[in-house]
Amino acid sequence: MTHSNSRDAELRARAEAVIPGGMYGHQSTGLLPDDYPQFFARGQGAHIWDVDGRRYLDLMCAYGPNLFGYADPGIDAAYVRQLALGDTLTGPTALIVELAEAFVALVGHADWAMFCKNGTDATTMALTTARAHTRRRVVIRAKGAYHGAAPWCVPRPAGTIDSDRSHQIFCDYNDVASLETAVAQAGDDLACIFAAPFKHDAFIDQAEPGPAYARRARELCDATGALLVVDDVRAGLRLARDCSWSKIGVQPDLSTWGKCIANGHGLSALLGNDKARKAAAAIYVTGSFWYQAAPMAAALETLRLVRDTDYLEQITALGERLRAGLAERAAVAGFSLRQTGPAVMPLFLFDDDPDLRRGFCFASEMLERGVYTHPWHNMFLCAAMTPADIETALDAAEGAFAALKRQAPTLSPVPKLAFLTPTAR
């Protein structure tokens, strides 16, 4: 509930004056139900607290970065120790070598690693590397797939020019024929095929990757000399202790990582095989903060937990429990709720809800009951969640479905979302 005298409302009013649009990006004003808090005070484990002191079980996990829990003591201790020694220095520390070695040891296709700050840095570097390797221009990618917010891939075109988006051909995810058509259209100018590890577009049902699609992408790259890129920025380390497509036996040439690799500290990575090494060495990429040592210390500890704990099995089991429990409760309440994607990265959409009014109402009712969900974006589980947290979410859902049932006949359309509906570019 937005209270006009709340700290959140006060900060929103002040932000309106000094931050264009009040807020930008994925937390832009109007993308979430009105009662959602905009500002948070802290996070601990699986929970976040808003600036008005309300605590939520956080099923968004910061849109992915929180894998082992907010403020994980071991990871943050490694970060703080390194901060005291030096973070942004004139050059990198030994940690960059140790971290590259750790990624190369963990990720099957990787022979080398380069580090940057955001997922967009990594995906843009992947594109540049592929173009340097092939000396060709065209990238094939799936309609509606998000690869970041640089001019070549940003979903909202304001401020971009046509040439930012030239030499791109779009296909339908999981559609072999459409991929083949795109490759034929690219002719002898194909630099790379970009693939999301699974279809995790906003607003629509998610889909597992079809092994035939993934294998065909690999074959087409091999046949044309183009590079295959798996964009694991969002899903990396939540589906496998390797690149996500290792689960279906397809190895890319390049993979992009970010979000949770340092459990919330600013770090992303481009990993590649030997085929792409020379091109990766030839491109000029850097940033003032790209050698920062403290996030690398956090990443080394994160990867240690990835290797040495059963976090993956644990979050998978929790995700499956959440999925089954929600399905039961939705059915009892008489709702047809589509839960798609891997159980550790679930998306909930209601049938017969084209303008998301039910989804928004359900999310608001979950929030009211202390669970932060998302009405149109995939969510994330983290290893700090417990079976008791899942029961809390399911109890909240029972109440939220009942409240939705009462309100359904009188719900009004959700405003302002039309501009975000994915466009086929």
Ligand X SMILES: Cc1ncc(COP(=O)(O)O)c(C=O)c1O
The SS3 call for residue 106 is helix
Nearer to ligand X, 260 or 390 (CB): 260
CA 383 → CA 47, 265, 316, 387, 389, distances in Å?
12, 17, 9, 11, 11
CB of 164 to ligand X, least distance (A): 16
Residues 6+ apart with CB under 8 A from 177: none
Which tokens belong to 149? 């917010």
CB of 65 to ligand X, least distance (A): 9
Name the closest residue to ligand X (Cβ): 119
How many residues bind ligand X (CB under 6 A)? The answer is 12
Residues 6+ apart with CB under 8 A from 4: none
Q: What is the largest CA-CA distance in the chain?
A: 63
- Rounded to whole angstroms, how far apart are CA atoms 366 and 398? 9
Q: x/- contact string, 195-234, with ligand X (CB under 6 A)?
A: -x----------------------------------x-xx
Site for ligand X in 122-151 (CB under 6 A): 123, 146-148
Nearer to ligand X, 120 or 340 (CB): 120
Stretch that binds ligand X, among 117-125, 182-190, 288-296, 334-342 (CB under 6 A): 117-125
CB of 260 to ligand X, least distance (A): 11
The SS3 call for residue 361 is helix
Interface with ligand X (CB under 6 A), residue from 38, 66, 120, 255: 120
- Rounded to whole angstroms, how far apart are CA atoms 154 and 25? 11
CB of 321 to ligand X, least distance (A): 25
CB of 218 to ligand X, least distance (A): 19
Residues 6+ apart with CB under 8 A from 94: none
Nearer to ligand X, 262 or 326 (CB): 262
Nearer to ligand X, 50 or 231 (CB): 231
CB of 414 to ligand X, least distance (A): 22
Interface with ligand X (CB under 6 A), residue from 93, 118, 178, 224: 118
Q: DSSP for 251-285, please give it.
A: --SEEEE-GGGGTTSS-EEEEE-GGGHHHHHHS--
* 238 belongs to the binding site for ligand X (CB under 6 A): no
The alpha helices in 168-232, defined as continuous H runs, are: 176-186, 211-224
Q: Which of 375, 345, 372 is nearest to 196 (CA)?
A: 345
Q: x/- contact string, 249-288, with ligand X (CB under 6 A)?
A: ---------x------------------------------
Binding site for ligand X (CB under 6 A): 118-120, 123, 146-148, 196, 231, 233-234, 258
